[in-house]
């Protein structure tokens, strides 16, 4: 049983009435809620960060854990072209965690929150056998303008921001710039808004589970396939880390063929990696070969 299978099964059971204020639900980076009269659609996303699954206290300091808990949620807001509006945090803590740990955790979270206007609005606290964080992020996007996964068409060009494989390299080596990339991913909020407003991206999502699985999801949602080639590798990262390593939190997006995409946005490289093809829904080819979706699926691999 994979995460995708659980979600497919769940999607079939969830039915909203016609007058529901929900515009978008399970299956994109964020849900979309449209309040009566509101100028903006509200993007909503939740992300778990769990000790033993997503991090270890031996390698991750509390400041980094707080940063990453929020960065994961903000990256989802970024991927739909939204502006951060608020966050809520549910935090489960074992008895051996002290005030200093908690202070440092919140320092990491609040610093990133302030930088992006993701004001902490509330949450929950509870005892838990393992450190458990669940972040809720709310974002605003002009009514009907959110970037979705399902808008890619044949001939669209595929781009990624930044470089790939850095987080996987950092996890493997725990050294240098790659380590920082793993511990302190930077959500691409301004870039997401630029993709929406200026480049009129046809589809977008963030790279949280690895390019091979995430691009497959975008293609699946859009009813298309993809042909990709040379990737922008993080210095020192392998092709495998760039294709299948997760947690890069860069943006993957498509634009109409011929769109003039600059080589970078505020210092972040934007690299064309391939093209959308008709048919073979959900398939991805790399250098002409079919690519296995080896990215991270929580329910396919047990955590080590």
**Applying CB under 8 A, does 39 fall inside the site for its own copies?**
yes
**Considering beta carbons, is residue 132 or 271 the nearer one to its own copies?**
132
User: Count of residues binding its own copies (CB under 8 A)?
Assistant: 70
Cα 144 from Cα 302, distance rounded (Å): 38
Binding mask 94-113 for its own copies (x = CB under 8 A): -x--xx--xx--x---x---
**Considering beta carbons, is residue 95 or 279 the nearer one to its own copies?**
95
Could you tell me the smallest distance in angstroms from the CB atom of residue 105 to its own copies? 10
Q: Which residues, 6+ apart, have CB-to-CB distance to 203 below 8 Å?
A: 147, 148, 149, 150, 151, 152, 156, 218, 221, 222, 253, 254
**Applying CB under 8 A, does 30 fall inside the site for its own copies?**
yes
Considering only the stretches 37-45, 59-67, 244-252, 278-286, report the one whose residues sit in contact with its own copies under the rule CB under 8 A.
37-45
The residue whose two tokens read 């407003």 is 197
Could you tell me the smallest distance in angstroms from the CB atom of residue 251 to its own copies? 19
**Considering beta carbons, is residue 128 or 259 the nearer one to its own copies?**
128
Q: Are 48 and 133 in contact (CB under 8 A)?
A: yes
Question: What is the torsional sign of CA 123, 126, 128, 131?
Answer: positive
Is residue 101 classed as helix, strand or coil in its secondary structure?
helix
Residue 155 sits at the vertex; the CA angle it makes with 151 and 158, to the nearest 5 degrees, is: 65
**Considering beta carbons, is residue 48 or 233 the nearer one to its own copies?**
48
- C-alpha closest to that of 287 among 227, 215, 218, 212: 227
Q: Which residues, 6+ apart, have CB-to-CB distance to 60 below 8 Å?
A: 68, 183
Q: Contact residues for its own copies (CB under 8 A)? A: 1, 3, 6-7, 9-10, 13-14, 16-17, 20-22, 25-26, 28, 30-31, 33, 35-40, 42, 44-48, 50, 52-54, 85-86, 88-90, 92-93, 95, 98-99, 102-103, 106, 110, 119-130, 132, 134, 136, 138, 140, 298-299, 302-303
């Amino acid at each position: 049983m994979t995460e995708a299978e659980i979600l497919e099964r769940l999607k079939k059971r969830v039915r909203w009435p016609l007058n529901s204020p929900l515009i978008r639900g399970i299956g994109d980076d964020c849900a979309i809620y449209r309040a009566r009269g509101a100028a903006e659609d509200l993007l909503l996303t939740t992300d778990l960060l769990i000790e033993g699954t997503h991090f270890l206290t031996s390698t991750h300091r509390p400041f980094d854990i707080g940063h990453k808990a929020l960065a994961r949620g903000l990256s989802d807001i970024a991927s739909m072209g939204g502006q951060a509006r608020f966050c809520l945090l549910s935090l489960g803590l074992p008895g051996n965690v002290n005030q200093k740990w908690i202070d440092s955790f919140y320092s990491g979270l609040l610093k990133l929150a302030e930088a992006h206007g993701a004001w902490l609005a509330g949450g929950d606290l509870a005892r838990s056998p393992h450190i458990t964080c669940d972040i809720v992020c709310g974002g605003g996007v002009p009514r009907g303008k959110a970037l979705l996964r399902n808008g890619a068409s044949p001939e669209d060009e595929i781009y990624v921001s930044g470089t790939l494989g850095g987080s996987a390299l950092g996890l493997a080596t725990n050294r240098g710039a790659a380590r920082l990339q793993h511990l302190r991913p930077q959500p691409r909020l301004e870039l997401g808004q630029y993709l929406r407003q200026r480049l009129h991206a046809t589809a977008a999502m963030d790279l949280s589970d690895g390019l091979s699985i995430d691009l497959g999801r975008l293609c699946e949602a859009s009813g298309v396939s993809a042909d990709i080639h040379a990737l922008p590798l993080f210095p020192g990262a392998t092709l495998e880390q760039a294709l299948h390593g997760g947690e890069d939190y860069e943006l993957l997006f498509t634009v109409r063929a011929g769109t003039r995409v600059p080589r970078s946005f505020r210092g972040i490289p934007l690299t064309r990696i391939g093209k959308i093809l008709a048919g073979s829904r959900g398939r991805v080819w790399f250098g002409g070969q079919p690519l296995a979706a080896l990215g991270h699926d929580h329910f396919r691999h047990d955590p080590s």
